[in-house]
Amino acid sequence: MTNYSKRNFENQQPAKEINLKELIGIISRRIWIVIIVTLLFILAGYLKTLTTTPLYQASTRIIIEANQDKMKTLQVIIKDTTVLQKVIDEMELPLSPEALAGAINVTSVEESEVVSISVTSSNPYTAAEIANTTARVFKNEAPNIVDFKKIRNLSPAKVNLVPINGDNNGTIIKSGIIGLFLGIGLTFLLNSLDYTIRKEQEVEDIIGFPVIGHVSKMNKKNSNVSKNNIKKIKEVQQAKHSKETRAEL
C-alpha cells in the first residue's frame, strides 16, 4: 500500500467511526420509541393470528383413462352442480353447490391420467371427507352423465392438521421486524426535526468560530447553593445598609 493510500485510509476511518457513533447516539436517545413501536407491531401480529381462521387442505387422487379432450370434460363434471349437490345431500353440508365448488380444486398431475381433487376447509376432517366423497360420487355419476366408466381410485385423502394459510410464529416475527425498522426510521425523522444544539462542534459549525467557554449544567444541588448564596448576599447588603443609615443619624 502506498503512503498516499495509507494516509487516505487513515483519514477516512475517523469519519466512518464518527458517523456510526452519531447514528447509534440518535437511536439511543429515543430508544423508547423503537421499543414501543416494535412491541405495538408484535401485539398487532399476535392479534392477527387470533382473528385469522386457519384453513386446511386435503387431496385425493383418481385415475381417468381418457384422452386429453375427454379428460378436460370429466374434470369440469367433477365440480358440476349434479355431482356436488349429491355430495352436499350425502354429507348434509350447510353449503350451496357454488360455495362447495369454490372450495374444490381439480388439476391433472403432470399431464398424466392422474387427477387430483383438493378441498380447502376450516375443518381438516371435513376437508378430507369432502374430497373422498366427491371422488366417489363422481365415479358413480360419470357413467350416467357421459357414459364413461374408466375411473379408478388411486389414493384417498388423509387428514392434514397443518394449516395452509401461514405460520403464526412467522407472522409475529415479521411484524416485530417491521416495527423495529419503522421505530428506527421514526427516530431519525424526529432527529431531523429537532434543532436542539447538543455539542460544541455544532455551535462552531453554525457561528463559524471556536467555542472558548461553556456554562456548566445546573442540577438541583447547584441550584440550591446558588439560591443560598443570593440570600446571604442580600442579608449582607441589608445589614450594611442598616449600619450606614444609623451612622448618618
What are residue 107's phi and psi, to 5 degrees? -140, 150
Question: Which residues is 61 bridged to in the sheet?
Answer: 116, 155
Task: Indicate the DSSP class of residue 96.
Answer: -
Cell numbers linked to 51: 382473528
Alpha-carbon dihedral sign for residues 14, 17, 23, 28: negative
Query: Averaged over 147-173, what is the pLDDT?
Result: 88
Query: Averaged over 229-244, what is the pLDDT?
Result: 65
| 169: nearest Cα among 37, 48, 58 | 48
Question: Which residues is 169 bridged to in the sheet?
Answer: none
Which residue ranges make up each domain of the chain? 3-51+168-192, 56-155
End-to-end CA distance of the chain: 91
CATH code of the domain occupying 56-155: 3.30.70.1130
Question: What are the tens digits of pLDDT across the range 173-201?
Answer: 999 999 999 999 999 888 888 766 556 66
Find the radius of gyration of the CA atoms of the chain.
40
Question: What are the tens digits of pLDDT across the range 93-137?
Answer: 999 999 999 999 999 888 789 999 999 999 999 999 999 999 999
Task: Indicate the DSSP class of residue 113.
Answer: S
Round to whole Å and give the CA distance between 58 and 160.
Answer: 6
